[in-house]
Amino acid sequence: MKKVMIAAVAAAVTMLASGCGEKQPVTVYKQGQYQGKPDTRPWDNEPFKGDRTAWEKAVKARNGGQNEYARAAN
Amino acid sequence: MARMKFLCDAERCIECNGCVTACKNEHEVPWGVNRRRVVTLNDGLPGEKSISVACMHCSDAPCMAVCPVDCFYKTSEGVVLHDKDLCIGCGYCFYACPFGAPQFPQDGAFGMRGKMDKCTFCAGGPEKDHSADEFKKYGRNRLAEGKLPACAEMCSTKALLGGDSDVIADIYRNRVLKRGKGSEVWGWGTAYGKPEKGATPPAGAKS
């Protein structure tokens, strides 16, 4: 009877203590997967037709356009 | 290409709300939803500072971590997007976001929350690029047109920079060196944490 009581108390303590555990609130990226539909990459469409280099060149030009020191020098 | 980020220069922002207007107009955002807004600190006092705030597309996005239906995804360019077909409008992401970015349009007669809406870095959503469905749900996909977000490109003082993190950090660093002050970048530390390998943070990055 005493052994059963000890086992019951141990189980209860374990269950109570497990409630104190804290799960780390960090994102677990599932290799780019999620539950929804897959998205296409920005260069996989009409203007760029899968040409990643052309897309990067276009974005780079736009990025540079934000630097007015460089714009003023030209 | 490095990942896409936003950077707001509080020394330059004049609280014109041009970025807010550009965003609203570009995506035809419904009434009551503000994907971007301008926040002024110490308003009316000498030395007041304004910053333009929207989704920062965080490196370790808390919205992604708390979403119970796993409707968020991150593109290879580091843009945090979500699928409105999966969103249940629970609002967890709103509580998790340090920038208050997630917005919920009123849906129904009794103030029921609709599906979450937020800044997409002008990158649309999982629908087909440039389709009517994509525009209706997420707005225009400028990134797929080889353009940067309308808010940053429209900014008259170039206070709001958006794009490749290496490039915008470099622009900001040169700017700080030239003017010799105002090196704080509000929200940069909160959104992007420690610099990713190979990337250099702008001078005086501040949480």
Flag whether pLDDT at B206 surpasses 70.
Answer: no
Q: Provide the residue type at B116 as one letter.
A: M
Dihedral angle, C-alpha B119, B76, A27, B172, nearest 10 °: -60
How high is the pLDDT of residue B196?
47
Distance CA B134, CA B117 (A): 13
Q: Provide the residue type at B36 as one letter.
A: R
Q: Provide the residue type at B197 as one letter.
A: K
CB contact under 8 A, A65 and B153: yes
Distance CA B79, CA A41 (A): 11
Flag whether pLDDT at B197 surpasses 70.
Answer: no
In chain B, which residues have their Cβ closer than 8 Å to the Cβ of A44? 129
Q: CB pairs below 8 Å between A and B: how many?
A: 111
Q: For chain B, how many residues are written?
A: 207
Q: How is B88-143 classified by DSSP, letter by letter? A: ----HHHHH-TT---B--B-STT--B-S-B---TTB--SSPTT-HHHHHHH--B-G
Flag whether pLDDT at B129 surpasses 80.
Answer: yes
Flag whether pLDDT at B1 surpasses 60.
Answer: yes
DSSP single-letter state for residue A33: B
In chain B, which residues have their Cβ closer than 8 Å to the Cβ of A39? 73, 75, 81, 125-126
CB contact under 8 A, A25 and B128: no
CB-nearest partner of B1 from A27, A40, A56: A56
Name which of B2, B56, B52 is nearest B158 in CA terms: B52
User: Are B40 and B53 a contacting pair, CB within 8 Å?
Assistant: no
CB contact under 8 A, B163 and A63: yes
pLDDT in tens, A44-67: 888 898 899 999 999 999 999 999
- Residue B53 pLDDT grade (very low, low, confident, very high; cuts 50, 70, 90): very high
Flag whether pLDDT at A18 surpasses 50.
Answer: yes
In chain A, which residues have their Cβ closer than 8 Å to the Cβ of B175? 69
pLDDT in tens, B176-186: 999 988 888 88
How high is the pLDDT of residue B204?
61
pLDDT in tens, B78-128: 999 999 999 988 999 999 999 999 999 887 777 678 899 999 999 999 999
Averaged pLDDT, B163-168: 93
User: Are B18 and B93 a contacting pair, CB within 8 Å?
Assistant: no
Q: Which two tokens stand for residue B203?
A: 């001078």
Averaged pLDDT, B157-174: 94
Domain ranges of chain A: 40-74
How high is the pLDDT of residue A23?
60
How high is the pLDDT of residue A28?
55
In chain B, DSSP finds a helix count (H) and a strand count (E) of 7, 6
Q: Does B71 touch chain A (CB under 8 A)?
A: yes
- Chain A residues interacting with chain B (CB cutoff of 8 angstroms): 25-29, 32, 34-48, 54-56, 58-60, 62-69
- Look up the pTM and report it: 0.81
Report all structural domains of chain B as residue ranges with CATH numbers, in order of start. Answer: 4-192 (3.30.70.20)
Averaged pLDDT, A4-13: 89
In chain A, which residues have their Cβ closer than 8 Å to the Cβ of B64? 27
Averaged pLDDT, B153-180: 94
- Residue A73 pLDDT grade (very low, low, confident, very high; cuts 50, 70, 90): confident
Averaged pLDDT, B34-50: 93
Q: Give whichever of A18-22, B1-5, B84-88 has the largest mean pLDDT.
A: B84-88
Give percent of chain B above pLDDT 90.
70
